[in-house]
Amino acid sequence: MAQAAWIHYILSMPHDAAPPHETEIAARIKAAEATCAQHGTQLTALRREVLELILQASAPVTAYQLLDQLKPIRKSAVPPTIYRSLEFLLENRLIHRIERLNAFVPCAEADHHHDDAQFLICKRCGAVTEIEDHAVSHALASAAARQGFSISRAVIEVEGLCANCAEQPA
């Protein structure tokens, strides 16, 4: 079996961890603008603001949490505008939706194979770790093909305890 290509990106930080640095967020926004330009689309001001909020978040964030954060600066923000921005960011592979949590996280890396991402979700602290193990995706596709099934989309989210929580008593 192939070695897993791990993308370590803990989206839920411990209380003493520093939030993402402004220069890191600025670099991710610049990369997002370049990605959009390659796709012939535009990262509008609202889309940029939504992406920045997701990048700044210390945990997966829901659409309504984003709306609450945007309301003070965008009085006209309503759920449909947030959902359209999220859909755009998903289509352009800039964020992931964590189905189990109905929340959104930034992609760990801008140039990875979006369809091969799997997520480890800590049931105690809520940390979400994105991994990219092509062997997992390949095994799933092979098993489906043996059944004559064609996968159009696969979401792999695994619940358990992160390393920090596993070390602590229950």
Could you tell me where the beta strands, DSSP code E, fall in 74-140? 95-98, 103-106, 117-122, 128-132
Q: Specify if 16 maps to a domain.
A: no
Q: Specify if 10 maps to a domain.
A: no
pLDDT digits (tens, 9 = 90+) for 112-123: 556 778 999 999
Q: Which domain CATH number covers 38?
A: 1.10.10.10
Q: Which domain CATH number covers 143?
A: 3.30.1490.190
**For the chain, what is the domain count?**
2
Q: Specify if 97 maps to a domain.
A: yes
SS3 81: helix
Which of 39, 46, 44, 98 is CA-nearest to residue 69? Answer: 46
- Judged against a pLDDT cut of 80, whether residue 22 lies above it is answered with yes
What order of strands is seen across the sheet that includes strand 156-160? 128-132, 117-122, 156-160
Domain assignment of residue 157, given as a range: 112-170
Q: Which of 88, 109, 130 is the last residue of a domain?
A: 109
Q: What's the rounded Cα separation, in Å, for the pair 7 and 133?
A: 9
Put residue 102 in one of left, alpha, beta given phi > 0 → left and psi -120 to 50 → alpha.
left
Q: How confident is the model at residue 169 (pLDDT cuts 50, 70, 90)?
A: confident
pLDDT recorded at residue 6: 36
| Averaged pLDDT for residues 129-150 | 93
| Averaged pLDDT for residues 19-47 | 90
Q: What's the rounded Cα separation, in Å, for the pair 10 and 112?
A: 16
Q: Which of 62, 92, 109 is the last residue of a domain?
A: 109
The interaxial angle of helices 63-70 and 45-56, nearest 10 deg, is 110
Q: Specify if 128 maps to a domain.
A: yes
pLDDT digits (tens, 9 = 90+) for 88-100: 999 999 999 999 9
- Residues of the chain with pLDDT > 70, as a percent, come to 85
Q: Specify if 51 maps to a domain.
A: yes
Whether the model pTM is above 0.75: yes
31 and 53, same structural domain? yes
